Amino acid sequence: MSSLSFPRPTALAGALALAFAASAHAQTAEPAPATPASTTLAPVVITGNPLGNADVAAPTTVLGGDALVLRRASTIGETLNGLPGVSSTYFGPNASRPVIRGLDSERVKVMGNGGASLDASTLSYDHAVPIDPLVVDRIEVLRGPAALLYGGNAIGGAVNTIDNRIPKQPVEGVSGSAEARVGGAENERGGGALVEAGNGKFALHADVFGRDTDDLRVPTYRPVEGGDVLDETKRVRNSASRSKGGAVGGSLFFDQGYAGLSVDTYDSKYGVVAEPDVTIKMKRDHVGFAGELRDLGVVKALRAQVNHTDYEHQEIEGSGEVGTTFKTKGNELRLEAEHAPLGPFRGVVGLQAEDVDFSALGEEAFVPSTHTRKQALFALEELSWAGGTLQGGVRADHVTVESEGDADGADPKFGPPAKRSFSLASASLSNVYKFDKAWSMTGALSYTERAPTSFELYANGVHAATGTYERGDPNLGAEKGTNLDVALAWKDGRNHLRMGAYATHFSRFISLDATGDTIDIVEDGQTESFPEYQFRAVRARLYGFELEGGHRLLDGAWTLDANGKVDMTRGKNLDSGEALPRIAPLRATLGLDAGYALWTARAELDAAARQTKVPSTDRETAGYGLVNLSLSRRFTFGPADGNDGVAFLKVTNVGDKLAYSASSIDTIRGLAPLAGRAVKAGVRVNF
């Protein structure tokens, strides 16, 4: 793999755009008839499904339409928390990343329109993902290894947010939507709007959003900080936030495809719950290109995507001084070629490349500046046979991680410059078998490898957000895991049931574990001690099950549906014999949905068992049962078709129960309980 060398994505962006545009002008036939503009995407799952199959083996959850409107939170993690197999890191209300089946950080890839986010959210639990759910049309969650198509950073799963900033379907006329939201435990004042216009050959998209919140309101509790119990309060300190942003994008359509470009920005400022006088100022600017050419002979479709991201994250002390500045500047290229059927085989081959510069500047920086390069080739083939639809794929990656070390030589914290290279391989085999129109069975077996990150290799310093001293290991090898996933599903109209189980064995799992030692740091004549944590490779096993379903109890003028889900994940460090940290306990959600005409009401019980399976460095988390209620009404307005909307009112945690997230880090759990009783209202209109 060391011989793989791809052109830099930035150099290719212009060439790709020109190539697609030239192809557009070369066409002489009239473009295909345009479809009406719409903010609702097709029901076919996009993520991890390049062949566009109606049935996929990977367990996938899709959020869109009214369901997404009602679930939206200020972060992607909290928006998805509670879906089957999905919890969140919950570092207060502003920084929450998805956890899938007990795996988080660099093992869950968060994407926008299939492209990498390229931020610093995996470096620390207090770093937010720079994607606001307000302007997202649809979210797809792929549970289980997605490394074959997206690399080792999706060894646990993938989350793909889709916003249509680069339109992929022709648009006729003008359409758009707007949403406003107020209330909630965080006293949100937020809203967003988008407009799309086109003439069948060209489409333009523009959106804008903004959100302000106050300190999170919770049931009365006594915060716990470093073993000290503080005074009673009903607010999570330093949890207010402000965010804003927007985008402009456009696409040119021709009879064999499209080419599009978008520019977007995200700006946020929020408090760090762990430190009462520290705020984070974050800004991300992104430029993206996407295009597709179809019917090119042996190549059925050629898809290209190029992304450039410029990200900066400043941690500002109460005095106004900037303590640490994190910067990421990166480029990503992805090419996929779907070939025409070759006998019984359909398939796609592709390449992916990333080039990312990361720097951490300031006294509190605990990782050096690094340069990471990734190059990959992958292939996926599909065969229909008597046993169903069989898919197999392979991927080869080459990853290089370079540390600048102590560039100025003044503070020998990180040592001399260093470089590690990794050649990785992943493979998967899956099958979907349909017994009849209602019943189906799926199974997937995969082997994945992930290169250690820059901080897993080179970290050395106090991590202020977690109150620990973290050390990397520059000699770490690649993380290696084997996963088996099976499920049985039934669907008949409104009635459905899915039962799934999975098991993952890591022969090498990169874990951040306490060494039992403490490190003394002297600053301004004061000595402070921090527990030492070391990144190390261990053997590990995770397994669990997911059960979800729904049944229509009443069908007529009034409708009544019962639905729910139950999931459980267990994780164990096979070297120490202890449980893996931050694993969500057995959880259940039971709901009743009643509908009449344009009205819908929902009552829901969100329950979690006590989490007793924790390592010695963590503490048990009490179980809880929270009741949530919502009422919504759809409406139409104006003379034109498509002018509709939904208004909603929801009450969360009706009983004002004090509850804590078992999947959040122990040092923050005692400071940030889940939200207390709150009322939120909102409206979304489409025109």
Q: Give per-residue pLDDT as tens, 43-64.
A: 689 998 999 888 889 899 999 9
Q: What six digits make up the tokens of 195?
A: 């407009």
Greater confidence, 361 or 364? Answer: 361
Query: Are residues 122 and 459 in contact, defined by beta-carbon separation less than 8 angstroms?
Result: no
Q: Give the pLDDT confidence score for residue 14 in this predicted structure.
A: 45
Mean pLDDT value across residues 509-537: 87
Q: What six digits make up the tokens of 394?
A: 């392979």
CB crowding 642-664: b at 16 or more within 10 Å, else e: eebbbebebebbeebeebbbbbb
- pLDDT, tens only, 572-595: 999 999 999 999 999 999 999 999
Beta bridge partners of 394: 379, 427
Tokens 């901080």 map to which residue? 455
Q: What six digits make up the tokens of 174?
A: 């003008």
E strand or H helix at 21? helix 9-26
pLDDT higher than threshold 50 for residue 29: no
Query: Are residues 188 and 213 in contact, defined by beta-carbon separation less than 8 angstroms?
Result: yes
* Window from 406-415, 534-543, 553-562, 634-643 with minimum mean pLDDT: 406-415
Q: Give the pLDDT confidence score for residue 406 in this predicted structure.
A: 83
Query: How many whole angstroms separate alpha carbon 392 and alpha carbon 385?
Result: 13
Q: What six digits make up the tokens of 454?
A: 């820059």
Where would I find the beta strands (DSSP E) of 363-417? 370-385, 388-403
Mean pLDDT value across residues 516-520: 86
pLDDT higher than threshold 60 for residue 33: no
pLDDT higher than threshold 70 for residue 158: yes
- % the chain with pLDDT above 90: 77
Tokens 């916003």 map to which residue? 163
- pLDDT, tens only, 256-270: 999 999 999 999 999
Residue-averaged pLDDT of the chain: 90
Query: How many whole angstroms separate alpha carbon 302 and alpha carbon 292?
Result: 6
E strand or H helix at 266? strand 257-271
Q: Give the pLDDT confidence score for residue 575 in this predicted structure.
A: 95
Query: Are residues 39 and 599 in contact, defined by beta-carbon separation less than 8 angstroms?
Result: no
User: Taking Cα atoms as reference points, which of 414, 637, 450 lies closest to residue 537?
Assistant: 450
Query: Are residues 88 and 80 in contact, defined by beta-carbon separation less than 8 angstroms?
Result: yes
Query: Are residues 264 and 165 in contact, defined by beta-carbon separation less than 8 angstroms?
Result: yes
Query: How many whole angstroms separate alpha carbon 312 and alpha carbon 323?
Result: 13
512 pLDDT band, cuts 50/70/90, is confident
Beta bridge partners of 511: 536
40 pLDDT band, cuts 50/70/90, is very low
- DSSP annotation of 132 reads -
Q: Looking at this protein, which amino acid is placed at residue 534? A: Q
Q: SS3 letters for 353-366? A: EEEEEEEEEECCCC
Q: Give the pLDDT confidence score for residue 410 in this predicted structure.
A: 54
Greater confidence, 683 or 365? Answer: 683
User: Taking Cα atoms as reference points, which of 97, 122, 108, 180 lies closest to residue 150?
Assistant: 108
Query: Are residues 560 and 594 in contact, defined by beta-carbon separation less than 8 angstroms?
Result: yes
pLDDT higher than threshold 50 for residue 2: no
Contacts of residue 7, defined as CB under 8 A and 6 or more positions apart, other chains included, come to 333, 353
